[in-house]
Amino acid sequence: MQLIDGKSLAKKVQATVTTEVAQLKQEKNIVPGLAVILVGDDPASHAYVKMKAKACENVGVYSITHNMPDTISQDEIIATIEMMNNNPRIDGILVQLPLPKQIDTDKILEVIDPKKDVDGFHAYNVGRLVTGLDSFVPCTPLGVMKMFEEYDIELRGKDVCVVGASNIVGKPMASLLLNAEATVTVTHIYTKDLKAHTSKADIIVVGVGVAGLIKEDMVKEGAVVIDIGMNRIEDGSLVGDVDFPNVSPKCSYITPVPGGVGPMTIAMLLSNTLKSAKARA
């Protein structure tokens, strides 16, 4: 069993971004800029946004966070996004999700200029991803693809089971894998027999937020297991969606939690912001 070290791969990606950001500044006098819109006071969202801003600072990306109360109107959020769409210093716009209940998330995401949509959530980029055209790709699944590449994990012709069908993780993950010529099964909460699907898979990618969902008897000997889950359990520790102690001995490769996919998400956000700034250049 080999651990996939997301922490060190993320550092490697960030080092490359740092070099290219410096080059862009020197050659074109362009500093990539990221605008983050954060609504409400969800502690997890605040923690993520703080990590994103810190990561920007570390690689030389300019960032600004628009902190808004959860009483804010949809129109005010839209006005802020439009301001960022028209701001020439801003290459990337990220609206931290989830948004408060009274806000129509789909409507908000549609307002973001697709050329600045570094989260890849706009329908324009989703459509381009599904079609296999160049697009902004959501950061978490993009980070998983980077891991497959780094560890030379072949995807063509492989049976891959994606557990979870969210717009942020499962659906774009499935599109990327399909584009890489894998045979993809996507399961979700209404799937009748999850184990029947996972136990056949050469590769399992799981991101549903249920601690320990994937157990030893659900995984084929020698499988690759990618765990996108992040669950805080009673004793305060952070665990994934995979029962790591029991599943890991069966795997050829597995990601730990923490230190697996998590750090890759932020690294890919920086990479997408750089990509957008290069397009501006």
Per CB under 6 A, the segment of 81-89, 95-103, 156-164, 221-229 that binds ligand GUN is 95-103
Q: How near is the Cβ of 52 to ligand GUN at its closest, in Å?
A: 9
Distance CA 257, CA 242 (A): 9
Residue 234's CB is within 10 A of a number of other CB atoms, namely 6
Residue 42 or 150 having the CB closest to ligand GUN: 42
Q: How near is the Cβ of 190 to ligand GUN at its closest, in Å?
A: 22
Q: How near is the Cβ of 37 to ligand GUN at its closest, in Å?
A: 9
Distance CA 25, CA 258 (A): 34
Residue 140 or 198 having the CB closest to ligand GUN: 140
**Residue showing the smallest CB distance to ligand GUN in the complex:** 97
Strand segments (E) across 49-143: 62-68, 92-95
> What is the DSSP track for 217-270?
GGS-TT-EEEE---EE-TTS-EE-SB-HHHHGGG-SEE--SSSSHHHHHHHHHH
Q: Catalytic residue positions?
A: 52, 96, 119
Per CB under 6 A, the segment of 80-88, 91-99, 159-167, 225-233 that binds ligand GUN is 91-99
Of 106-125, binders to ligand GUN (CB under 6 A) are 119
- Give percent helix, percent strand, percent coil of the chain, each to the nearest 5: 45, 15, 40
Residue 93 or 201 having the CB closest to ligand GUN: 93
CA 146 to chain CA centroid, nearest Å: 11
Q: How near is the Cβ of 249 to ligand GUN at its closest, in Å?
A: 30
Distance CA 94, CA 140 (A): 14
Cβ atoms of 267 and 13 within 8 Å: the answer is yes
**Interaction between residue 185 and ligand GUN (CB under 6 A):** no
Residue from 96, 187, 271, 272 in contact with ligand GUN (CB under 6 A): 96
Q: How near is the Cβ of 19 to ligand GUN at its closest, in Å?
A: 24
Of 200-229, binders to ligand GUN (CB under 6 A) are none
Residue from 53, 64, 68, 97 in contact with ligand GUN (CB under 6 A): 97
Q: Residues 6 or more apart from 223 whose CB is under 8 A from it?
A: 201, 202, 203, 204, 250, 251, 252
Residue 59 or 99 having the CB closest to ligand GUN: 99
Of 120-159, binders to ligand GUN (CB under 6 A) are 139-140
Residue from 72, 77, 90, 95 in contact with ligand GUN (CB under 6 A): 95
Q: Which amino acid is at 68?
A: M
φ/ψ region of 34 (left if φ > 0, alpha if ψ in -120 to 50, else beta) reads beta
Q: Among candidates 175, 166, 115, 165, which has minimal Cα distance to 142?
A: 175
Site size toward ligand GUN, by CB under 6 A? 9
Helices 170-179 and 123-131: angle between axes, nearest 10 degrees? 30
Residue 168 or 239 having the CB closest to ligand GUN: 168
Interacting residue ranges for ligand GUN, rule: CB under 6 A: 94-97, 119, 139-140, 168, 265
